[in-house]
Amino acid sequence: MNIVTIVGSIRKESYNMQLAKTIQERYNTIMNMEFADIRSLPHFDQDEENNPPESVRKFKESIANADGVIIITPEYNWSIPGVLKNAIDWASRVDKVFVGKPVMAAGVSIGMAGTLRAQLNLREILTGIQANLLPPSGNEVLINFAPQKFDDQAGRLTDEMTLAFLDTVMDKFGEFVRSSKNAQLQGSYMG
């Protein structure tokens, strides 16, 4: 299973990136995970969408070729960061690479809310671009109070209860991606 992960924070010590790396290592037997580079994407420009720069082309291609996408986002001002929205805007145009793509959302905050508002916003955006979202019930990865749950030295999530919950969600996401793929194969076979 090939998964592409988009992290909505581009800062070096990002907790959201630490979560992404934890996921990459912890579930490496069930999936091969790569990171999408959103740092190098230029601002979305509709004049360029039919002939986008190489960084955009590569970014879109990585999503198009993936079996599923994980979006891990901080909350900025009750919403998702501009860099993430910019990346989604590029991906939403011309060859609309998110249409039907299985997507899971997750996020980490320092404070109490665990990115709840950002993820609600993200779900609206992804619904608008017809992504195939892992249903939220039982699958909302909202990690709050990050400094208590991550090991800064190791740069990984270490809170046992959170990891146990993550195991259940990743299990369901794996199944969700596999069944979406089977449904697609069946659809193409049926013609």
Element at 133 (helix H, strand E): strand 132-133
Window of 55-63, 103-111, 126-134, 167-175 that interacts with ligand FMN by CB under 6 A: 103-111
Counted residue by residue, the chain has a size of 191
3-state helix, strand, coil in the chain (%, to 5): 45, 15, 40
Determine if 152 is a binding residue for ligand FMN (CB under 6 A).
Answer: no
Coil, helix or strand for 72?
Answer: strand
Distance separating alpha carbons of residues 63 and 55, to the nearest angstrom: 13
Q: Which of 42, 82, 111, 187 binds ligand FMN (CB under 6 A)?
A: 111
Instruction: Find the helix packing angle between 160-190 and 15-26, rounded to 10°.
Output: 70
Q: Phi/psi at 139 (nearest 5 deg)?
A: -120, 20
Window of 28-36, 94-102, 110-118, 164-172 that interacts with ligand FMN by CB under 6 A: 110-118
Nearer to ligand FMN, 104 or 177 (CB): 104
Determine if 74 is a binding residue for ligand FMN (CB under 6 A).
Answer: yes
Determine if 75 is a binding residue for ligand FMN (CB under 6 A).
Answer: yes
The answer to whether 29 and 60 have CB atoms below 8 angstroms apart is no
Which residue spans within 15-98 are E strands per DSSP?
32-35, 68-72
Nearer to ligand FMN, 109 or 119 (CB): 109
Determine if 150 is a binding residue for ligand FMN (CB under 6 A).
Answer: no
Determine if 78 is a binding residue for ligand FMN (CB under 6 A).
Answer: yes
User: Whole-number minimum distance, CB 73 to ligand FMN, in Å?
Assistant: 8
Nearer to ligand FMN, 73 or 139 (CB): 73
Point out which residues bind ligand FMN (CB under 6 A).
9, 11, 14-16, 74-78, 108-111, 113
